[in-house]
Amino acid sequence: MTEFLLSHFVKGYPEVNDPQVRTQCGNLAGMVGILSNLLLSSGKFLAGLLTGSVAISADAVNNLSDASSSIITLLGFRLAAKPADDEHPYGHGRTEYLSSLAVSVMILMIGVELAQTSFQKILHPEPISSGLLAVMILAVSILVKLWMAAFNRQVGKKIHSAALEATAADSRNDVISTSAVLLATLLQMQFGWKLDGYMGLAVAIFILWSGWGLVKDSIAPLLGQTPDPELVRHIADVTLSYPGVLGIHDMLVHDYGPGRQFASLHDEMPANADVLESHDTIDRIEKYFLEQEGLHVVIHYDPVVIDDSETGEARSFFAAEVKKIDPRLSIHDLRIVPGTTHTNVIFDLVLPRELDSRTAEIKHTLQELAREKNPLWLCVITAENSFTGTFSSEKARKAEVTVSEP
């Protein structure tokens, strides 16, 4: 069904990497969500009125909120598709994250209201008239929500949309909450147990829990979360596949919305190679990412001395020693500056933020190790943190990856 809808209602499908096609996929998913949730909400409101069940009515309100969230998601996709302008040179892609945040806050508000209503039902229980109609409507709702969860999950994965994948998770949660309501109705019919208020409260608590999770997921990319490890690894592998690139470090990845990533990094290249050839290699790498993957990458040329024995000895020595201190440590940009009384060994030390308080101690340890290795060595160390999570320059060494250039 998903492929049928996408192929018949999305012009240009399956070229989902095209921004226009991606937007059409998001619009279709939003419209399907609006129509499905409005139909479910109407049916449940009717069932709630006929049976007097607050749990069924609460679930109807939940479906109505899902329809509203689909409207906001639809608006988010359309606003995010606006082209970049002078005031927003990186585009409007983060609007999709803002729409997700708005939906999450709305879910929390509805959850609070449902909790209050259900609590009053617990304090003042009323008999409800349950029947086959209520059971049938709830059963159909479960089936529809199962399909919606699968549909949004598949579309979300195809276009790499966190908003749609969150919508899929929300539909899956609705299946669980509606199943709880159905159970309460069946227990009322079979044993006369008045669990309506309790089940309504359980549904409300579940909505609050899901809403809070969605709030955190929506805020994370707006605050600047760690980039996707697969994207970081991919950028490294592609870059290292080009001839002359010895390693990379200081990678930064900025997320301005789905499909709008910008990255910068330093390429380590032989210092004795022709500078123009090295820059030509960098230009080809940047061109590949932009034209083939729509990723804006800016690369800094970093010459590395590879034909000096002392530099090579120092690089190998300190690379090994920092691993003994902590496996997460790494170094880069090591160079030797000889003098009459001592030799400066200059390099950058990359350490996780948990070790920031030990920076001075680690520097002192490395200096003592340097003196033991060579009394003339004097370390000049610049400590820095990685902006790509656990990824470090030690993981970014020459790899056997083949890339077809355009």
Full pLDDT tens readout for the chain, 406 residues: 888 888 888 888 888 877 788 888 888 988 998 999 888 888 878 777 777 766 677 667 777 777 877 887 788 888 888 888 888 888 888 888 887 788 788 778 878 887 887 888 788 776 655 567 777 877 888 899 899 999 988 998 888 787 787 778 778 877 877 787 777 777 777 777 777 788 778 888 888 887 888 888 888 888 888 888 888 899 999 999 999 999 888 899 998 887 788 999 999 999 999 999 999 999 999 999 998 888 899 999 999 888 888 998 999 999 999 999 999 899 998 999 988 899 999 999 999 889 999 999 999 999 999 999 999 999 999 999 888 865 544 445 543 333 434 4
Q: Tell me, what's the pLDDT at 405?
A: 43
Q: Pick left, alpha or beta for residue 102 (phi over 0 → left; psi -120 to 50 → alpha; otherwise beta).
A: alpha
CATH of domain 2-223: 1.20.1510.10
Give 233: exposed, middle or buried? Use CB within 10 Å, 0-12, 13-18, 19+. middle
* Closest listed residue to residue 65, CA positions, set 33, 24, 98, 23: 33
Grouping H, G, I as helix, E, B as strand and the rest as coil, residue 336 is: strand
Fold of 229-395: Alpha-Beta Plaits (3.30.70)
- What residues does each domain of the chain span? 2-223, 229-395
Between the two ends of the chain, the Cα-to-Cα distance in Å is 35
* Closest listed residue to residue 214, CA positions, set 170, 161, 153, 156: 170
For helices 54-80 and 95-123, angle between their N-to-C axes, nearest 10 degrees: 170
Grouping H, G, I as helix, E, B as strand and the rest as coil, residue 85 is: coil
CB 246 within 8 A of CB 281: no
Query: What token pair was written down for 192?
Result: 């006369």
